[in-house]
Amino acid sequence: MILDVASWLLLLAGGFFVFAGGLGALRMPDFYTRAHASGLTDSMGTILILSGVALQAGFSLAGLKLFTILAFLLLTSPTATYALANAAYFAGLRPLLPPLSAETDDRKTR
């Protein structure tokens, strides 16, 4: 009973985070802000939804598989996002806003 309520809450919170990240990835103005919104679904939504489902599975083979999926996703999705942002930056795509130290930094001499 308590496990059911906890898993229900985790799934609801995970659904909210996934939806917020999806909305952000559609509505954000820039590639890097979109990557930020996508990273929200990749980390928080994945943790919440998979642990909510794993509470239903309990200590079984399905629970072990869910834990493996969670560990693998947490390992690979930041790597993929990093590689993506790195490739975009090297290809010449710059963020919409200049860096915060742009006023104090003498950028024209560079």
Partner 1 sequence: MYYAATIAILVTMALALGRALLGPTVYDRVLAVNMFGTKTVLLLAVVTFLYGRPDFLDLALAYALINFIGVLAVLEFVQKHSLRHPKTDQERERS
Binding site for partner 1 (CB under 8 A): 4, 7-8, 11-12, 14-16, 18-19, 21-23, 25-26, 31, 34-35, 38, 41-42, 45-46, 49-50, 52-53, 56-57, 61-62, 65-66, 68-69, 72-73, 76-77, 79-81, 83-84, 87-88, 90-91, 93
* Min separation Cβ 66 and partner 1, Å: 6
DSSP conformation class of 41:
I
| Cα separation of the two ends of the chain | 64
78 vs 105, which CB is nearer to partner 1? 78
Q: How far is 23 from 21, CA to CA, in rounded Å? A: 5
* Min separation Cβ 104 and partner 1, Å: 30
* Min separation Cβ 40 and partner 1, Å: 10
Please give the backbone phi and psi of residue 92, each rounded to the nearest 5 degrees, phi first.
Answer: 100, 5
Q: How far is CA 7 from CA 15, 71, 78, 86, in A?
A: 12, 19, 25, 37
